Structure 1
Amino acid sequence: MSTHAAGYTAEILTSPPLDGSLESSSTLPTDGLDSPSASTGKDVTVLEWDGQNDPQNPYNWSLQRKWLVTGAALVGTFIVPLNGTSITVAAQAINQEFNVQDYSNFSNSYWPVTSWSMGGALFIVAFLPLMEDIGVRVGYLVVYAFFLLMIIPQALAQNFATLVVTRFFSGGCVALLANTISSVIPDIWGDSKARSVPVGLYIMLYLTGSTLGPPMFAGVMQHIGNWRWIFYIQLIIYATFFPFFILMIKETRGGVILKRRAKQIRKSTGAAVYTQMELDAAPLHLRLLKSMTRPAYLLCTEPVLFASTCWSAFSFGTVFLFTQSVEQVFTGLYGWEEYSTGYVQGAVVIGEILGWLATLYSSHLYLKSASRNTEAPGEPIPEARLYVSVFASFLGIVGGMFVYAWTSYPWLPWIAPAIGLAMVGFGIQVVVSAVADYITDAYAASDYAGSAISAVAAGENTVAAFLPLAAASMYTNLGFHWASSLLGFLALLLSFAPVVFIWKGRQLRARSPFMQGGGQQERQEGGEE
């Protein structure tokens, strides 16, 4: 059996003997100048799995092992984002120690969070190919170790610049860690139905981890009063879990497992045995260039991706916006201490958990849509991912923003605006999940799904970095009611995006060269993603 790719022809080896020797078989010489055979002078054998039941194939792992690895990955997804927003409950204390001045229309204390989010936006675009090369386990552990080291100077910082710089790197690490973990789920769960619960849990835990920083660490400022303990506690948490991740995080990327198997065969036998991934791989510098330019290109040329990114980025950005606006609203209305406003952000977490339950129903509607799909009979309709998100966006985010806005009166109990926060949290969870699923499905026909998701992730982190910087000015100049109302009107405008997609999604996908097998030309040029 032979395969043709990148200008070479080679035998496919599906069952290497356990003793490392290779059965002799006929192979055709390869003629690709850039293929391994050109450098080795040998015929190439393409290694594949040892049949459909190869026990090393992650799809064939037992259900117990799949959930153990997935569970460990989800733990990491929850704890690492805590580093992002936890610092916001200590803004006043940090300002006093480092002589940082906040003004009525601008919060300089937010720069360490802005740098954290921008690190995430840049790292996810620039360094993802490196993570794909070295695999899930090694990549995760190396980045996690560096992330852990970056917490130390945050705890011991002697100036404000140290916080800003080191948090840029820790935010970048969190983005890479989260993306690495997100790849674990499709690596071991083989179909949409099996992936629905793990994917929903992944997004919920990442969002709740990002949101839970202030309520979880508010007690540090209330009872200890030293902001450095926020990072000391994080050091304890992250260092404690490091051995757990070393033990539990396994390699789940099938191509990497096969590549290591092929490398072992080459080492023990000298035979030119390679995987398809090795043979097709473009030089690293080209992949890095593509990973940095293609998401931006898609974002600027694909209306569906651009609108989806704006919708999801605004939703995700409100998580970080609330770290600023909640403090202004609740201290202004009720005279609360800064740390107390951190606790009330727990309402957003409650909404996100309720939103996760709604995503389970959304997955049910998506799978059920396969019975009426006339475009691809038997396959779910991509736009079915968006049904519940329309309700969640209009009622949750838009409605919640207006509840948050117009219950902001000192004579109303604090629980009233907190209910608005919970409604927004509900909408955020459903919207971010829906966009991630829809973009993945819409671009699944081509090789552009990874780049499209990178564009969405970069957009989310960028908005999370800069939208909160406008909070002080908005809530000071417009007042509590109209500042939140402005956000509600922006959310209302963006909420029409899924309505348009559901109405005209099939036509929009048909017009896109990237959604409908758009990778064909690039594959012919040897540039597969």
Structure 2
Amino acid sequence: MASTQNNSEAELQEGKFLEDVNPKDSSHDVADLEAGPVDQKLESKSDINEVNWESDDDPSNPVNWGTSRKWRNLGVISIMSLTTPLSSTMFAPAIPQVMAHFHSTSTFIETFIVSIFVLGFAFGPLFVAPLSEIYGRRPVYLVSIALFLIFTIACAVSNSLGMLIAFRFLCGCAGSTAMTLGGATIGDSFPKDKRGAAMATWGMGPMLGPVLGPIIGGYLSAAEGWRWVFWLQAIVAGALTILGLIFLKETYPVVILEQRVALLRKETGNQELRSALHDGLSPKQRMSQAIIRPLKMLFLSPIVLLLSLYTTLLFGLTYLFITTFPRVFMLQYGFSTGSTGLSYLGLGAGMVFGMALGGKGSDVLYKKMQARHDGKEEPEYRLPLLVVSAPLVAVSFFWYGWSAQEKTHWIVPILGTVFFGLGMFPGFMSTNMYLVHTYGRYSASAIAASKVLQSIGGAFLPLAGPPLYNRLGLGWGNSVIAFIALAFSPLPWVFFRYGGSLRKMGQVQF
């Protein structure tokens, strides 16, 4: 643990930022909102009927799994979290074909067919997070990917725009699971000081997927038609369903101990046995509380609400880029349907750089700040990287907008989008780790609450792009967006400095 690090590491050169800044009000007198078993140690049993881990090193506890088992489990989840966001935008370059096929000229429908998938991301978490906290992570992952497969096939055979839009929405609902539960699964199985690389690996899917989607979809739809975009997604979803059945393991400690209790009751006949992590609620009470928990967190916890607003902006701007790139690069630079996919490479490169920086840098900074503050484990120690990267989002929109407006070489606006990827990826990764660290047992609900708001932003903010560009042009239109991003950029610093106070305000019984 970080608290046992040697003194030499604590004395490493950390730079003025880490030397001078200490999160205020982040001391241990703040009530622990983690309320759960992520890092729970074995306590002495005062009740002979209480079933707990056999020891602190119990191999049944996911935190104690071997490295290969943890990463194999996370690998399947990471592929799932890449596949569904990729599917959300793979369809974008094929929109002109669809509009022509169904004889529609509505620019609203043109954008909404892409956005409706993301709106499904807002509704799905409200169900998958509570269900995972009752029945476990594994069954929810498996049922969701199977439903995603069925709904994707329905999209492929759609015979009307209405049918296509409806099943795109259902695809989004089913496809939200890996993005909602992935962070919680990492919290189940990785210690706090080793979550950075795991969170970066999982987080790359939701960020990079929407960027890779149009590249693949552009060439596939040009060669085989728009329906084959969905058939390819269905093939991948089918393969993932099989992989999940074989390799996915349960990680939620509450459910694992409940399964152990059920087995012991059967073996011993003692019906008085109960899990040390049992909350004392009946199944009906547990369900009623779990269903409302994400919305309760969203509206009653300042932490969840403010971080959700910030990630909502980032997510919405990501999809604004994604939905407007084809039109911008076709009109400004004469790109074909297939080559418009290449316009997303800047975003992708920025996200890869952001993943490399965040995956390694987050854990390093966390351990250094722990060492500097006497081994304390505060969620604010995950935010320094975000404080530095947040302004890059505004830089990106200024660069991209004015270079595209002036029709400079096409590589120039694409290079501008690299900065968006660099600024956006640490934003999502840091906020997810902050929520997992803070809410532990109920981290799936906390992330679900955040996903609800950000997915609504991802669905509707892109609708403002075309009219904004039509009225103000690419230069000033993107400048307006950049000024909004600048207004939000101090928020990570506020959380870093005053997160402890906000966590005190957020002490609500969930």
Give the TM-score normalised by structure 1: 0.82
CA distance in 2, matches of 1:369, 1:146: 43
Give the AA of the match of 2:267. S
Call closer, same or farther: CA 1:355–1:220 in 2, change over 3 Å: same
Structure 1 residue 443 displacement after superposition: 4.7
CA distance in 2, matches of 1:285, 1:401: 49
Aligned residue in 1 for 2:126:
125
Give the AA of the match of 1:402. F
CA distance in 2, matches of 1:250, 1:506: 35
User: Tell me, what secondary structure is at the counterpart of 2:88?
Assistant: helix
Alignment of 1:217-232 (within 5 A): 217-224=217-224, 226-232=225-231
Give the TM-score normalised by structure 2: 0.85
1:364 counterpart = 2:364: yes
Aligned residue in 1 for 2:384:
387
CA distance in 1, matches of 2:443, 2:76: 25
Aligned residue in 2 for 1:145:
146
| Contact map agreement 1:263 1:273 (CA 8 A) in 2 | no
Call closer, same or farther: CA 1:378–1:108 in 2, change over 3 Å: same
Moved more, 256-265 or 213-222: 256-265
Give the AA of the match of 1:489. F
| Contact map agreement 2:144 2:174 (CA 8 A) in 1 | yes
Structure 1 residue 283 displacement after superposition: 4.3
CA distance in 2, matches of 1:488, 1:284: 48
Call closer, same or farther: CA 1:513–1:408 in 2, change over 3 Å: closer
CA distance in 2, matches of 1:140, 1:453: 16
Q: Could you list the per-position Cα deviations for residues 211-270 of structure 1 after superposition, in whole angstroms to 9, with x for gaps in the alignment?
A: 22111221112322x100001111222223332222111222222222222222223332
CA distance in 2, matches of 1:157, 1:217: 18
1:187 counterpart = 2:183: no
State the superposition RMSD in angstroms: 2.4
CA distance in 1, matches of 2:403, 2:418: 13
| Contact map agreement 1:129 1:287 (CA 8 A) in 2 | no
Call closer, same or farther: CA 1:505–1:195 in 2, change over 3 Å: closer
| Contact map agreement 2:400 2:413 (CA 8 A) in 1 | yes
User: Tell me, what secondary structure is at the counterpart of 2:254?
Assistant: helix
Structure 2 unaligned blocks of 5 or more: 1-41
Call closer, same or farther: CA 1:296–1:237 in 2, change over 3 Å: closer
Give the AA of the match of 1:430. P
Call closer, same or farther: CA 1:452–1:262 in 2, change over 3 Å: closer
- Number of aligned positions between the proteins: 466
Q: Equivalent of 1:415, from 411, 416, 421?
A: 411
Aligned residue in 1 for 2:204:
204
Aligned residue in 2 for 1:424:
420
Aligned residue in 2 for 1:349:
348
Structure 1 residue 436 displacement after superposition: 1.5
| Contact map agreement 1:259 1:274 (CA 8 A) in 2 | no
CA distance in 2, matches of 1:205, 1:448: 23
Structure 1 residue 123 displacement after superposition: 1.7
Structure 1 residue 281 displacement after superposition: 5.1
Aligned residue in 1 for 2:24:
none
Give the AA of the match of 2:154. P
User: Tell me, what secondary structure is at the counterpart of 1:55?
Assistant: coil
Alignment of 1:296-375 (within 5 A): 296-359=295-358, 360-373=360-373
1:64 counterpart = 2:65: no
| Contact map agreement 1:369 1:381 (CA 8 A) in 2 | no
CA distance in 1, matches of 2:310, 2:424: 10
CA distance in 2, matches of 1:494, 1:385: 18
Moved more, 114-123 or 271-280: 271-280
Q: Could you list the per-position Cα deviations for residues 165-216 of structure 1 after superposition, in whole angstroms to 9, with x for gaps in the alignment?
A: 1122211111123323333322222x22222211111112221123221112
Give the AA of the match of 1:270. G
| Contact map agreement 2:324 2:465 (CA 8 A) in 1 | yes
| Contact map agreement 1:45 1:273 (CA 8 A) in 2 | yes
Call closer, same or farther: CA 1:222–1:370 in 2, change over 3 Å: same
CA distance in 2, matches of 1:386, 1:27: 40
Give the AA of the match of 1:335. G
CA distance in 1, matches of 2:418, 2:50: 53
| Contact map agreement 2:125 2:177 (CA 8 A) in 1 | yes
Structure 1 unaligned blocks of 5 or more: 1-13, 15-25, 29-43, 520-528
Aligned residue in 1 for 2:3:
none
CA distance in 2, matches of 1:60, 1:412: 55
Structure 1 residue 433 displacement after superposition: 1.1
Q: Equivalent of 1:496, from 490, 495, 502?
A: 490
1:434 counterpart = 2:430: yes
Structure 1 residue 505 displacement after superposition: 3.2
Alignment of 1:263-302 (within 5 A): 263-276=262-275, 279-280=278-279, 282-302=281-301
| Contact map agreement 2:180 2:448 (CA 8 A) in 1 | no
Moved more, 431-440 or 377-386: 377-386
Structure 1 residue 424 displacement after superposition: 0.5
Structure 1 residue 156 displacement after superposition: 0.4
Q: Could you list the per-position Cα deviations for residues 445-471 of structure 1 after superposition, in whole angstroms to 9, with x for gaps in the alignment?
A: xx7654432221111111011111111
User: Tell me, what secondary structure is at the counterpart of 1:166?
Assistant: helix
Call closer, same or farther: CA 1:381–1:184 in 2, change over 3 Å: closer
